Structure 1
Amino acid sequence: MLTDIPAILFWLKKLLGQLLLPPLAPLLLILVGLLLLRRWRRTGLSVAWLGLAFAIVTASPATVGWMLGPLEATPPVSLAQARQAQAIVILGGGRRSYAPEYGGETVGRLTLERVRFGARIARETGLPVLLTGGLPGEGMAEADLMHDALENDFGIAPRWIERASRDTRENAALSAVHLEAAGVTRIVLVTHAVHMPRAAAEFEARGFEVVPAPTGWFGNREPSDDLPNLLPGANSAFAGWLATHEWLGRLAYRLGV
C-alpha cells in the first residue's frame, strides 16, 4: 500500500499519462462522443471525430514521422566523441515482468537496445558504466535487470548501479550522487533518440557535460512509396505512442510536474 506522498504523486502522474496517451485517450474521446450523441448530437460528433483523428495521427507513418522529427534530431555519436568522456550512463527503458525463459523478469525491448549500445561503447572505449533505473512496483530494480543483461549477455561489468530512480529526472539526480563522488563531470549518455533531448537536459541541469549517444531511431528517414509503409500499423502506432509520451513528458517537466 502506498503511504508516502512522492509515491502517490508518481502513480497519479503515471495514471494521468495513460489517460492522455494512445490508444486509451482516443478511445475515451470516441466513447464520450458517442455517449453525447443522444442529447448533444453536434458536440458528440465533434468529440468522436476528434478521437478518431487523434488515433489516426498517432498511428500513421507520415504524421508520426512529423512528431518524431524534432525529437530525434541528435546525430549518432562517434567513438572519438565518446572517448573524451569519463563514464557511460545507460538509462533504463522498461522491463518484461513475465520472462519464464529467464527465470522471472528481464529487461524490456527498449532497455535491451540501450544496454546493447552502451556495451558496445564501453567495449570500444574502456569507460566505466553506470546503470540507472529503479523499482516503481514489485520485483527487481530495473538497474539490476540491466546489470544481469550487461554482464551475462555482453560481458561488461558496470561500476555503479543506481536502483532508486522512478523517472528521467530522478535518473539524473540519483546518478549524480555516484558520479560526483567519483569526480565524473563528462558523461556519455545512452538512451533512445526520441528520449535524448529530455534526458540530456536533465543531466546538464545537474552540471554534467553530456556526450549524447542516441540509439533506436523510430522515425523513417528514407521516403517510401510502398503502400504497407504508408498505412497505420503496429510499428507506427508504437512510435506514435513514444512520440506522444515524450512530448507530454517535456511539457510536464516545463510545468515542473
Structure 2
Amino acid sequence: MLFLLKKLVAKLLLPPTLPLLLALAGLLALKRWPRAGRCLIALGLFGLWLFSTPVSVDWLARQLETARPPSAAELASAQAIVVLAGGKERYAPEYGGNSPNQISLGRLRYGARLARQTGLPLLLTGGAPSGGRPEATLMAEALQLDFGLQARWVESASLDTHDNARFSAALLRQAGVHRIVLVSDASHLPRARYEFERAGLSVIDGPTRYLGGNGEQRYSWLPNGNAAQTGHQIAHEWLGRLAQQLRTPI
C-alpha cells in the first residue's frame, strides 16, 4: 500500500500532471483571487513548456548525466556487471505476452556488450511493481534468446532502486563479489550508484541511453512530443534525487 501511495504521489508531482493541476487551480481561483490565479496559470504553462521543449529538457538532462563510460582499466578491476531493469511492455503478443520495454532493452544491450567485452558474469535486477511477470525475468529471457548470453543471477523481488541495491548486494556478497559495473540510464546512474554504494558495493559507472545531447537543433524552443516524453523521465529523476536526499540526507 505504501509503495502504491508513493507511486501515486510521484505521478501527481510529475509533468504534465502537476503543471496542468497548477493551471486548473489558477482558473478556479481567478474570480476570487485574480492575481494568485494568474500566477498559478503562468506557472503551470511555464512548467509545461519547460519539460516539453528540446532546449530546456536537454539542459536539465545534462545536469544529471555526469557519468562517463568505464575505461579498460576500470573494467579489468570489476567482478560482475549489474543491469537495472527500467520497465516492461505489458502487451507484447509477438513475444508471448510481456516484454522488456525500450528502457530495459537499452540497458540490457549495453550490459550484454560489456559482458562480451570482459567475460564478467551478469546480474539482472527488477521485480514486478505493476504486477505480472518480473522485469528481470523478462530481461533474462531476452538476454538468452536475443543476445545469446546467460545471466548468472536474476533478482526479481525489488520494487524500486533502493530494493535493487539491497537485494542485489545480498546475492553478490554470497558469491564474494564486491566491485561491480552498474549499468543504467546515464540520468539515473548517480541515484542508482548512491544506493548501491550504501549497500556496501564498490561501483564503476556503466552509463547508457544518454538523453542530453540528442535534442533537435531546429525549432529547439518549440515544445514537441519527444521532448515531453524525455522531460517526464528527467523530472522523475530530479524528483527521485530529492526523495533520496530527504530519506538519507548527506
Structure 1 residue 163: Cα displacement: 0.6
The CA distance in 2 between the partners of 1:47 and 1:226, in whole Å, is: 30
Cα deviation code 1:146-197 (max 9, x no counterpart): 1111111101100001011010011000001110000001001000000010
Pairing of 1:114-193 with structure 2 (within 5 A):
114-193=107-186
Q: Distance in 2 between matches of 1:75 and 1:189?
A: 12
CA distance in 1, matches of 2:73, 2:93: 40
1:243 aligned residue: 234
Structure 2 Cα separation of the partners of residues 21 and 71 of structure 1 = 17
Pairing 1:61-80 to 2, within 5 Å after superposition = 61-80=54-73
Q: How many residues align?
A: 248
Q: SS in structure 2 opposite 1:210?
A: strand
Q: Report what 2:80 is aligned to.
A: 87
- Which is worse superposed, 74-83 or 15-24? 74-83
Q: Counterparts of 1:121 and 1:248 in 2: how far apart (Å)?
A: 30
For 1:79 and 1:14, locate their aligned partners in 2 and report how far apart those are by CA, in whole Å.
Answer: 39
Q: Look up the equivalent residue of 1:234 and give its one-letter code.
A: G
After TM superposition, give the deviation of residue 236 of structure 1 in Å.
1.4
Q: State the match for 1:254 in structure 2.
A: 245
Question: For the residues of structure 2 that align with 1:251 and 1:149, how far apart are their CA atoms?
Answer: 33
Note the C-alpha offset of 1:14.
0.4
SS at match of 2:44: helix
Distance 1:135 1:210 in 2: 25
User: Which runs of at least 4 in structure 1 moved beyond 3 Å after TM superposition?
Assistant: none
| 1:69 CA drift (Å) | 1.8
Q: Is the 8 A contact 1:190 1:214 kept in 2?
A: yes
Q: Secondary structure at the match of 2:203?
A: strand
Cα distance in 2 between the residues matched to 1:225 and 1:110: 24
What is the alpha-carbon distance in structure 1 between the residues aligned to residue 41 and residue 129 of structure 2? 34
**Mapping of 1:100-119 within 5 angstroms?**
100-119=93-112
Alignment of 1:21-36 (within 5 A): 21-36=14-29
Cα offset for 1:201? 0.8
Aligned residues: percent identity? 50
Would you say 1:98 and 2:91 are equivalent positions? yes
AA at the equivalent of 1:156: L
Alpha carbon RMSD of aligned pairs, Å?
A: 1.5
Q: Normalised by the size of structure 2, how large is the TM-score?
A: 0.95
Aligned pairs for 1:196-215 (under 5 A) are 196-215=189-208
Write the distance in 2 (CA, Å) between the matches of 1:24 and 1:176: 35
User: What's the CA shift for 1:226?
Assistant: 2.1
Q: Distance in 2 between the 1:197 and 1:138 partners?
A: 27
Q: TM-score, normalised by structure 1?
A: 0.93
Per the TM alignment, residue 13 of structure 1 is displaced from its structure 2 partner at its CA by: 0.6
The separation in 2 between residues aligned to 1:80 and 1:116, in whole angstroms, is: 21
Q: What are the Cα deviations for residues 83-126 of structure 1, in whole angstroms up to 9, with x where unaligned?
A: 32000000000111011111111001100000011001101111
Structure 2 gap segments, 5+ residues each: none
Shift of 1:225: 4.6
Query: Counterpart in 1 of 2:2?
Result: 9
2:83 maps to a residue whose letter is: I
Give how far 1:38 is off.
2.0
Distance of 1:19 and 1:84 partners within structure 2: 42
Alpha-carbon distance, 1:70 to partner: 2.1
Q: Could you tell me which residue of structure 2 aligns to residue 232 of structure 1?
A: 223
